[in-house]
Structures are given as structure tokens and as C-alpha cells.
A = this chain, B = another copy of it.
Amino acid sequence: MYLAQIYVTHKPSILDPQGEAVKNALHRLNYTSIESISQGKFFEVTINADSKDEAVKTIESICKDLLVNQNMETYSYEIKEG
């Protein structure tokens, strides 16, 4: 059994209206020390796999097939045995 943590964020060139809205809200609450904020998605996945290589392959392919819109988003992940 492997546990993967997947982080999906906007590509830098893509507008992030959600992050912008959160930043504006924080500035209105007087958190003026916040320079920038971007919001992404975070997945925790448990996978039945015989090896770490197999788990990595599964993670890569579920990211490309479902979790990530590769036109607008990038992803990174960490996998540990658990």
C-alpha cells in the first residue's frame, strides 16, 4: 500500500482569479503583509501496488487522465509506503 500526495497548481502564465479574490479578502481583513496567494488542489490517494514504480505509473496516469487539466495546470507529487 502506498500513500500519494498530489499537488495541482495553475501554470504561472494562467490567471488565478480565485487566488486574487482570496488575496483581496485578506487585504480587506488588514493582512497587508500577504504579497501573493495562489489556490490549487490537493489529493491524498492510497494505492494498492506491488512496487513504488507501479504506484508512480498509476499516479502519473490518473493525473493525466482525470485530476489535472494539462492546458492550465501543473502537478507534483510525493509517494511513500504506508
- Give residues in A with beta carbon < 8 Å to B: 1, 7-9, 19, 22, 25-26, 29, 31, 33-49, 58, 61-62, 65-67
Measured between beta carbons, the chain B residues less than 8 angstroms from A58 are 31, 33-34
User: What is the copy number of this chain in the assembly?
Assistant: 2
Contacts A42-B9, A42-B41; A66 near B26 (Cβ below 8 A):
yes
A-B contact pairs, 11 of them (CB 8 A): A19-B43, A22-B67, A29-B62, A31-B62, A33-B47, A34-B45, A34-B62, A36-B46, A37-B44, A37-B46, A42-B42
Q: Which residues of B contact A40 (CB under 8 A)?
A: 41-44
Q: A39, B38: Cβ atoms under 8 Å? A: no
